[in-house]
Chain A
Amino acid sequence: MENRSLFKKITGSREALLTFVLLVLGIFITVLNPTFFSPVNIGQIFRNNALTMIMALGMLCVMLTAGIDISITSTLAFAGMSIGMLTKYNIVNNTFLLFLIAMVIGCFCGMLNGLIISKGKVAPIICTMGFMYIWRGMAYVVGNSQFASGEDVREFAEFGKDGTIGPYIILIVCYALFFWMLKWTKFGRKIYAVGSNAEAARISGINVDNTLISVYTMMGTLAGLAGALSVSIYASAQPNMQYGREMDVIAACVIGGVSMSGGRGSVAGTFLGALIISIIAKALPLINVPSIAQNTVKGVIILFVVIFNVITQRMVDRQNLERREM
């Protein structure tokens, strides 16, 4: 009986399941390589995946409204290149100001997405696909075939270089902010409402369009922030930066239990999803699995998690039906 309820708890909530997976993973890795859980290693896991983790928060909100945004890494590149150029040519050198500019650019990009998706009734994937091309192209255009190297952004990179706590603080602040917003504010409720049943939300007086615009604007702002952070952490700004990594962000959310049809997902789950992907990337080489197998493992985990979910749901439905008296 005890066992069964534990099993139910684990399969019933995605967060519990992911924590369980993380624990097993942690024990497994530690047994094979006891050096894994050193503070340095763990710090690096967070630092190397800060971008994915931050953008996953925005993607969580977007997916809660049953949308998707695949333009984020292009926005990131556009914002990152913009501030890279600004600091390269010494137009702006203030770190805070550069962060702000990157976020404003991201905010603008996101707002455009939101406007077109809500007012123009365009499918999110198509709209953001268009902007994926536009902002990536703009990243090249602002750079004018140039890029910013470590020399160029030296001062700015001080913020994010190895050993500083800047990126960690940003990460913690973002997660705290979004946790609070989604759990304890009216606005957070609106996001869930729009994604769970847009028609009902409209009938109960929620402005669906505005909610969508805000959500995509937040996503863009976070992508802009991630752009600045990327320049700072990797000490370079290139127009092709983070190319194709939007799928990692989506994958983190999907593993974290965020439903693509909207209305289901949490900050905790998203965090755990992103963490699992990050740990696998870091751990594979340490347990003598060549790092080139990283993607395969990641893909298998995604499929495993989502299919496992479907199968348990089918079992639950079946049980409910069997309980019906006739």
Chain B
Amino acid sequence: MSDSEFILELKDVTKIFPGVKALNKVRFQLKRGEVHALMGENGAGKSTFIKVITGVHAAEEGHMYLEGKEVHFRGPKDALDAGIAAVYQHPTTYPTLSVTENIFMGHEIIRGGMIQWKEMNAKARELLDRLHANFKPSDEIGALSVAQQQMTEIAKALSTNAKIIILDEPTASLTSNESEELYKIVDQLRDEGVSIIFISHRFEDMYRLATRVTVFRDSQYIGTYDVDKITNADLIKAMVGREISDMYPKPEVNIGEEIFRIENMSRTGFFKDVSINVHAGEIVGITGLVGAGRTEVMESVCGITKPDSGRVFLEGKQLNVKKPEDSMKAGIVLLPENRSTEGLILSWGLGRNVTLPIQKKLAKGGIFNDLRKENALSKKFLEEVDTKAVTIFDPASSLSGGNQQKVVVAKALAQDNMKLVIMDEPTKGVDVGAKAEIYAIMGELAKKGFGIIMISSEMPEILGMSDRVYVMCNGRVTGCLDRSEATQERILKLSMEQGKSDRKEAVQ
């Protein structure tokens, strides 16, 4: 192989975790000075792959060549020394420390046994200026926004004079303005001769930045393509393994009376003047960029957080929700966004997870747990959603993401007084097969006349499943589109209506 064309090359890399093969003989080639996108579904092995490159994980098999020479990293330090720096999906910053301390952690400037703080502060200032950052080296990281933290991480990568910078879903938590800033930074870095690996779920990122794209699926290498030569459909096919036209079994449902309404709800710093309504049998999609306030609105509806003002009506009656228990009693069920931290108790058995919200109802006299009743009920609902599990005592942590989500759904179904279901990113991190099943369940619920709110960032899902779509941007509802009028372009446009408060045209 010619050692000048590829700055980084990996061959037949395999990585095994207890119980799973996270990478199976994958390969990858990075040209000098290119921006290379790495794509694939959640769980395809991208993050593990990155950690192999950066020396965090040691691969069981395979070879890695840096500028044509084979290298073996024994730890992250080796990779850093070799000029490879990574900016991870969740910023791995030190929240209690200052920007300067963060940038230079691990490679402080030391002279005469003393850390040269003045010099480091000046250098940090310089790096931040280069990135056009609007914060100071002395600021504490924990108080900065995610975008600013990411910028700090990039500054950190630059401070090590990295030749290769890996960006792991850098735009996932950024607003469109911030993303645009990031694009400029990446362009600038590429012009300066840095090679960049860019992981993202957003096609727009890929089109805007990358020249080539490599796709992983199910821990395997699928292919590498030139960005301007591959079509959207082919790329999706490569990522999910089949065409996804049959994904959304949206049933025809007669939409009934209005059952749920939010009126002018506000919470300082999170959302303002939000009004949303839902009819019986209707699937209402709520979309917008991450951080637009979608989740926060629903958390306030369910009593997780307290709104400053606004009213909530269920079946015409105004609710007074102080804590989650109140909203559940009224018949509102929330399927939270993060299964592992909000939806389930991972160390618990499936059955117990399912019956936790209704344990008081099942208990003898409301006090003593009735194990037989609980087990029978959880068995029934777990089977109804077709969970892949052996017993109801299996710990939730032993299931795959998709099956965990089914347990969350079973947990919701078990609440027999349910009238409205709020599903927050119901298919995040769920494999394709399970996704279809979850959509099917949603369809069934709609048929039975429940109101359904689905928060989602995934455009196809929103377009495929919702009867109506609310779009939020920066804490406000910027539009409401009917199924017939909802298109990707219109939704995108509405979700970027930054800070225009007088925009009410489409709100119904």
Chain A interface (Cβ < 8 Å from any Cβ of B): 180, 183-186, 189, 192-193, 195-197, 199-206, 259, 262-264, 318, 320-322, 324-326
CA A200 – CA B501 in complex, angstroms? 39
Q: What is the distance, in angstroms, from B77's C-beta to the closest C-beta of chain A?
A: 3
Given contacts A321-B268, A326-B499, whether A200 and B96 have CB atoms under 8 Å apart is no
Asked if A264 and B96 sit within 8 Å, CB to CB, the answer is yes
Q: Tell me which residues across on chain A come within 8 A of B476, comparing CB atoms.
A: 326
Q: Tell me which residues across on chain B come within 8 A of A326, comparing CB atoms.
A: 271-272, 474-476, 499, 501
CA A206 – CA B75 in complex, angstroms? 9
Asked if A197 and B93 sit within 8 Å, CB to CB, the answer is yes
Asked if B56 and A203 sit within 8 Å, CB to CB, the answer is yes
Say yes or no: is B54 at the interface (Cβ < 8 Å to chain A).
Answer: yes
Majority secondary structure, B binding face:
loop
Asked if A263 and B110 sit within 8 Å, CB to CB, the answer is no
Task: Identify which of A259, A320, A325 gathers the most chain B CB atoms within 10 Å of its CB.
Answer: A325
CA A262 – CA B86 in complex, angstroms? 25
Contact of A184 among B55, B113, B272 (CB under 8 A): B113
Q: Tell me which residues across on chain B come within 8 A of A195, comparing CB atoms.
A: 96
Interface residues on B, range: 35 or more
Given contacts A263-B95, A326-B475, A326-B501, whether A193 and B143 have CB atoms under 8 Å apart is no
Number of A-B contacts (CB under 8 A): 88
Asked if B97 and A185 sit within 8 Å, CB to CB, the answer is no
In chain B, what residue has the closest Cβ to A207?
B75
Asked if A320 and B499 sit within 8 Å, CB to CB, the answer is no
Say yes or no: is B270 at the interface (Cβ < 8 Å to chain A).
Answer: yes
In chain A, what residue has the closest Cβ to B273?
A326
CA A201 – CA B476 in complex, angstroms? 38
Asked if A205 and B75 sit within 8 Å, CB to CB, the answer is yes
Say yes or no: is B269 at the interface (Cβ < 8 Å to chain A).
Answer: yes
Contact of B92 among A184, A204, A259, A325 (CB under 8 A): A204
Asked if A204 and B105 sit within 8 Å, CB to CB, the answer is yes
Asked if A200 and B92 sit within 8 Å, CB to CB, the answer is yes
Asked if A259 and B96 sit within 8 Å, CB to CB, the answer is yes
Q: Tell me which residues across on chain A come within 8 A of B54, comparing CB atoms.
A: 203
Say yes or no: is B101 at the interface (Cβ < 8 Å to chain A).
Answer: yes
Q: Tell me which residues across on chain A come within 8 A of B433, comparing CB atoms.
A: none
Asked if B106 and A199 sit within 8 Å, CB to CB, the answer is no
CA A197 – CA B97 in complex, angstroms? 10
Q: Tell me which residues across on chain A come within 8 A of B501, comparing CB atoms.
A: 326
Asked if B269 and A204 sit within 8 Å, CB to CB, the answer is no
Asked if A204 and B108 sit within 8 Å, CB to CB, the answer is no
Asked if A197 and B95 sit within 8 Å, CB to CB, the answer is yes
In chain B, what residue has the closest Cβ to A262?
B96
Asked if A320 and B143 sit within 8 Å, CB to CB, the answer is yes
Asked if A196 and B106 sit within 8 Å, CB to CB, the answer is no
Asked if B115 and A185 sit within 8 Å, CB to CB, the answer is yes
Interface string of B39-79 (1 = CB under 8 A from A): 00000000000010011100000000000000000011110
Q: Tell me which residues across on chain B come within 8 A of A203, comparing CB atoms.
A: 51, 54, 56, 76, 86, 88, 92
In chain A, what residue has the closest Cβ to B269?
A321
Say yes or no: is B442 at the interface (Cβ < 8 Å to chain A).
Answer: no
Q: Tell me which residues across on chain B come within 8 A of A259, comparing CB atoms.
A: 96
Asked if B76 and A205 sit within 8 Å, CB to CB, the answer is yes
Asked if B88 and A192 sit within 8 Å, CB to CB, the answer is no
Given contacts A184-B113, A322-B269, whether A189 and B108 have CB atoms under 8 Å apart is yes
CA A197 – CA B114 in complex, angstroms? 24
Asked if A196 and B96 sit within 8 Å, CB to CB, the answer is yes
Say yes or no: is B213 at the interface (Cβ < 8 Å to chain A).
Answer: no
Asked if A186 and B115 sit within 8 Å, CB to CB, the answer is yes
Say yes or no: is B334 at the interface (Cβ < 8 Å to chain A).
Answer: no
Asked if B270 and A193 sit within 8 Å, CB to CB, the answer is no
Q: What is the distance, in angstroms, from A100's C-beta to the closest C-beta of chain B?
A: 24
